[in-house]
Structure 1
Amino acid sequence: MLADALRSREVEVKYQVDGGDPAAAAERALAKQGVSLGSAVAQDDQAYAPAAWSYGQSKIGVAFARLRTEAGRVLFTVKTPLVNELDCAEQETVVADRAAMHEALLLMGYVPTVRIVKYRRTGSWSGGQVCLDVVEGLGVFVEVERLVSADASSLAVQAELDVWVQDLGVPVRRVTQTYDSLLRAVV
């Protein structure tokens, strides 16, 4: 049962960074807040959805899958949005064979949706993890995420994270969709 798996969940906020050199502006602003970002890591993601689901339908309560290749290893992730797209129950594990896991997902009734290629730099701050993403076809984003208990209010956490990002002082636009939905909208 999904409720049993919700001991903790990932809650995030996401912002597109605007301006002349958005990555550099965001990096400077994060550094002023004490966030030191690591080196950029390439992430090649293939998103999957249940065959019966399609873009335009609600994602709430639907389990979505992802295969990510990063630094020579493959991660298999399942996320189920709870209150909104950026509040998810999540499980992740390393898999040995991306092609075999792809075939397994097809057998389980999932279909590939969107491929997402990005370069991610991560850092931490006392309230969670910060990601600076350069997403092919979309631009530069700041993502702030926090693991919370099952009974925490995701909307309250998102509001708190929003204040933190707005205080960075860089021109940002909050987005409430995941990268796959954003990419799908521009295709």
Structure 2
Amino acid sequence: GIGDGIWWAAVTMTTTGYGDKTPITWRGRAIALVWMFTSIFCIATFSATLASSLVVGRLKSSVDGPEDLPRARVGTVAGTAGELWTKAQGLKVQTYPFLIQASKALKRGEVEALVVERAILGHMIQEYQWNDLLILPQTLAVRDYAIAIPSGSPLMEDINRAVLTVTHHPDWKELVQRYVGQSEP
């Protein structure tokens, strides 16, 4: 009947009851069902807790913000605003020729943090799926980007209009998110 169907489904799901000793009475089966589902819940909870601890442990860094940088092993890319900022702060820093080397050093644990341009690192994280890297929310210094053209150039008005058109278009924030991996402030 229906009781046998429930029993068969439960023992199949919990991979028990392969012909070894099983309860015969409905009370015995009820107790066994409660025990099976309690065990499943306990194992699932234990697995979820263990997985969460491992992920948090792997992602947890000794650097939570700029105040931790003087005590940390810090890396940056040579010739960038990150290098200028770390030198201005008097930080002892390991410089790398390219962001790819700096990020590999971070992954290997040679450095605990990188000071690099948010937009460039955000793009690299998106492009190369560096999901194990975390960009902290603090901004160390704001650096504006510019387009250099000769003074009095007839192109200035066209370039200004093009930049304003693009940055005020409704898709602009989506493009920033896609290529840089963050929303525009």
Q: Same fold (TM over 0.5)?
A: no
Q: Give TM-score scaled by structure 2 length.
A: 0.19
Q: Give TM-score scaled by structure 1 length.
A: 0.19
Larger strand share, 1 or 2:
1
Larger radius of gyration: 2
Larger helix share, 1 or 2:
2
